[in-house]
Amino acid sequence: MEYPEPHAMLQTQEMRQRPFAEWWRPDIARQRRDRSGTIAVEGSGPRESALPFWGLMTFTFILLLAPQTFFPVLAPVRIALCTAAVATAAYLCDRFIRRQPVTILTREMRLTAGLAGWAIVTLPLSYWPGGSLAFLLGVYGKTLVVFWLLCNTVTSRRRLRQVAWGLSLMSAPLAATGVKHFLSASFLSPGDAVKRIVGYEAPLTENPNDLALMLNLILPFSLALFLMHRQRGVRALLLSIMLLNVMAVILTFSRAGFLTLVTILGMCLWKLRRRPERVWAAAALALGILCVPFLPSGYVERVGTIMDINADPTGSAQARWNDTLAALHFVARNPIIGSGVGANVLALNAERGEAWKAVHNAYLEYAVELGIPGLVLFLLLLVGCITSATGVRQRSAPLPAFRDLSCLAEGIQISLSGFAVAALFHPVGYQFYFYYLAGFAVATRAVFQAEMRQVIPCQNPLAPGREGSTPRDGDSRILDWHGCGSLGGRFGR
C-alpha cells in the first residue's frame, strides 16, 4: 500500500532529537514492544490479564461456528453463556485488582447507554412488557455485554490483528458449508421456484440471508489482512478465503447479500485505485466480469426482482414491501413511543393483520419499537462508528509505523458501510452483527489514541496548524484528534 511521507511534525531535527521520536525507528520500536503488541511504558503497573480477551475470542468462535452442533454433549452445558460469563468476571476482577475503571467512556459508549436507557424507559408502555423485558435481558443484553468487552479488552494492535484473523479464519467453514449445501442440493424448500440453500447451523447464520450478511461483513477484514501481509503463502490463504466467501454469498441467492457485496467490493476497488495494489483490483474486476456467464441458473432473475418486486415468484419481495409500508404508517402515528423493544411483530400485526413477521429493516425496527428518538440514537451510533474508523484511517495512513492499524481501520469503515446498506433489508438492529463491528471500531480508535499519546506527550505546546508552520507551533491535527487527557478526544466526548 502506498502512503505519503511521514508527517512533517516528525521530520524536523528538533523532534528527531527527542527520546520518544526513537519510536518511529523500526529497529528500536521492535525492541521496545512488549508481548501484547503495545509500546512498553516504564512504571505502567501490572500488565492486564489476557483471560478476558481470549474468553471473548472463544465466545466469538462458539457464536459463529457452534461446536455444540457437532458435539451434542456440549449442548446442555451452554458453553456460549459460560464462556461469556467467565470473560466478564475475569475482566471485572482484573480491573478491580489493578484499580482501573470498568470501562472507557467514549461517544459511542454513551450513545449505546442512551439507547438501552430509552428502551428501559419505554418498557412499561410496550405492547408486551414481559416480552420486551425478556428481549432486553436476553438478546439485546448479551449483545451489549459483547460490545462492552470488545471496547475494553481489545487494547493493542496485536489483539486487533488477532480479532481480524479470527473472523477471517472462522468465515472459511461458514462459506465452505454454503458451497457444499449448494453442490449437494441441500435447499430450504426444494419445490420452490427459487431454490435457497440451507445456511450454516448456528444462531447467526442458519438463514441463507444471515449467512450472506455475516460473510459480507467479514470480507473487508480479510482484505485488510491481505494488504498488511507481504508473504505469498499468507496472501494466497487470504485470497482463497475471500474468493470462497464471495462464491458462498452468491450461492445464497440473497438479494440483500448481493447489494451488500456490490457495496463492499465497490468501496474496496475505489480505495485501491491509486495504490500499488490496484493491479489486484483490476484483476478482481476482470475476474468478476469473466465469471458472469457462470453464475448459477436463476440468479440474474432473482437479483432482477430488486427493481421489479412484482416479478418475484416467491412473493417475499411483495410481502416485505407491504411490511415496510405498515411500519411507516405505525411510526407516523407513534413517533415518540413505539411498540416497545422486541415487539415490532405485534405492532405490525395490529397495523396490517396477523402475519407474525418482523419488518426486514433495522432502521424501521428501531423506529417502530423505540420511536424516532431510538432511531436517531442508533443512526448517531452508526455514523459515529464510521467516523471513528475513518478518522483512524486518515490519521494513521501518513505514518508507516501505523500501516497495520490503517488497514484495519479501513476494513472496519468498509464493513460498517456495508452494514449500513444491509440494514435496509435485515431485521438485525439488536444483534451481534452491528455491535461487534461497533466495538471493534471503538477499540481501534482507543489503541490509536493510546499509542499516539506515547509518541506525542501531552505537554508539547502545539498550536492550531497552519501552512508552513513548524512542528512546535504547527500542525497538531493528530494530537487534537486523539485528545491528550481524554480518551475520546474531539470524537469521544
The pLDDT value recorded for residue 93 is 95
Q: Is residue 61 part of a domain?
A: yes
Please tell me whether residues 303 and 166 are part of one structural domain.
Answer: yes
Residue 426 lies in a domain: no
Three-state SS at 187 = strand
Cell readout for 396 is 494513521
Are 165 and 303 part of one and the same domain? yes
**Domain-located, residue 248:** yes
Domain end point (choices 102, 120, 135): 102
Output DSSP code: residue 460. Answer: S
Q: Is residue 409 part of a domain?
A: no
CA dist 344 to 127, 227, 365, Å?
Answer: 9, 42, 7
In this structure, are residues 361 and 427 in contact, taking their beta carbons and an 8 Å threshold? yes
Same domain, 191 and 73: no
Do residues 186 and 87 both lie within one domain? no
Residues 70, 175 within the same domain: no
What pLDDT shows up at residue 14?
39
Query: Count of domains in the chain?
Result: 2
Q: DSSP letters along 106-174, please?
A: -HHHHHHHHHHHHHHHTGGGSSSHHHHHHHIIIIIHHHHHHHHHHHHH--SHHHHHHHHHHHHHHHHHH
Residues 216 and 302 reside in one and the same domain: yes
Q: Which pLDDT value is given to residue 44?
A: 46
Which of 282, 308, 334 is the C-terminal boundary of a domain?
Answer: 308
Specify whether 162 is located in the same domain as 257. yes
**275: Cα within 13 Å, side-chain hemisphere:** 15
Same domain, 211 and 277: yes
Burial classification of residue 8, based on how many CB atoms lie within 10 Å of its CB (0-12 exposed, 13-18 middle, 19 or more buried): middle
Residue-level pLDDT, tens digit, the chain, 493 residues: 444 444 444 443 334 434 444 444 444 444 444 433 443 333 345 678 899 999 999 999 999 999 998 888 988 889 999 999 999 999 999 999 999 999 999 999 999 999 999 999 999 999 999 999 999 999 999 999 999 999 999 999 999 999 999 999 999 999 999 999 999 988 887 767 788 999 999 999 999 999 999 999 999 999 999 999 989 999 999 999 999 999 999 999 999 999 999 999 999 989 888 887 778 788 888 888 888 888 898 898 899 888 888 888 888 888 899 999 999 999 999 999 999 999 999 999 998 888 888 999 999 999 999 999 999 999 999 999 999 999 999 999 888 889 999 999 999 999 999 999 999 999 999 999 999 999 999 999 999 999 888 776 544 333 344 433 333 333 334 444 444 333 334 334 3
C-alpha to C-alpha distance for 95 and 221, rounded to whole angstroms: 30
Same domain, 92 and 188: no
Question: Domain check: are 182 and 246 in the same one?
Answer: yes
What integer pLDDT is reported at residue 231 of this predicted model? Answer: 92
Question: What is the pLDDT, as a whole number, of residue 75?
Answer: 85
User: What is the structure's pLDDT at 340?
Assistant: 94
User: Left if phi > 0, otherwise alpha if psi is -120 to 50, otherwise beta: which for 462?
Assistant: beta
Whether 17 is in a domain gets the answer: no
Phi, psi of 86 (to 5 degrees): -65, -45
Same domain, 98 and 166: no
The x, y and z cell numbers of residue 25, run together, are 525507528
Structural domain contains residue 237: yes
Which domain, by its residues, includes 187? 158-291+298-308
Q: What is the pLDDT of residue 46?
A: 66
Same domain, 163 and 235: yes
Asked whether residue 418 is assigned to any structural domain, the reply reads no
Q: Flag whether 199 is in a domain.
A: yes
Please state the φ and ψ torsions of residue 187, each to the nearest 5 degrees.
Answer: -110, 155
Which distant-in-sequence residues (6+ apart) come within 8 Å of 400 by Cβ? 3, 6
Distance CA 244, CA 233 (A): 17
Residue in 387, 393, 382 with CA at minimum distance from that of residue 422: 382
Residue 240's Cβ-side half-sphere holds a number of Cα atoms within 13 Å equal to 10
